[in-house]
Homo-oligomer: A and B are copies of this chain.
Amino acid sequence: MSVHPISSFDVPDFEGLPTDIRERIEAVREKTGFVPNVFLALARRPDEFRAFFAYYDALMAREGELSKAEKEMIVVATSAANQCAYCVVAHGALLRLFSKNPLLGDQVAVNYRKADLTPRQRAMLDAALKLARAPEAFGQEDIEGLLAHGFSREDVWDIGAITALFALSNRVAQMTDMRPNEEFYSLGRMPR
């Protein structure tokens, strides 16, 4: 177990948390085998915790045309531009798992322009990065660029909204110095 705190803000005792939050955390522990630190770091503000994970579920668990791996590409690439340690490490692991490609997490984190992506995925990330880092310049021409690559308008919304949610998430993680669980660093990597 790490001697580093998982957040620079205090983390509440699990036992004192509201029932719904404890249940959510137990569910993720059962599924994943450990509790990702974001659940513990956000639990000190139950209403914000509930809103965050409701937003997360609404976008990341939504059935649409973007694959789970593609959604994680957006998360990893935009979080890398914001240099968000928690999001890059945790979602890099998810990207490896969902893509079944042990290299893709690091590739997208370091420089998505050089990653093993399709031109369509590259266009998706170009738009996401623009919205993430220069939202003032994002415009209808960027949306038309996505449509030209075969994305539907619902896909465009997903791409933009996931980018927006992690613009929020990156800033909360940065504000709290949120620390990724050690498990995430090696999840989904190739056997040595």
A interface, CB within 8 angstroms of B: 4, 8-9, 45, 47-48, 50-52, 54-55, 57-59, 62, 80, 82-85, 88-89, 92, 102-103, 106-107, 109-111, 113-116, 131-132, 135-140, 143, 153, 156-157, 160-161, 163-165, 167-172, 174-177, 182, 185-187, 189-190, 192
Taking the closest CB of chain B, its distance from the CB of A190, in whole angstroms, is 6
How many of these chains are in the complex? 6
Inter-chain contacts of A103 with B (CB < 8 A): 182, 185
Given A45-B157, A48-B55, A83:B8 Cβ within 8 A? no
Q: Which residue of B lies closest to A131 (CB)?
A: B171
Closest 9 CB pairs of A and B: A83-B136, A51-B55, A160-B175, A47-B58, A164-B171, A83-B111, A51-B54, A168-B168, A167-B167
B138 in contact with A114 (CB, 8 Å): no
Minimum CB–CB distance for A142 against chain B, Å: 9
The distance in angstroms between the C-alpha atoms of A113 and B132, with both chains bound, is 17
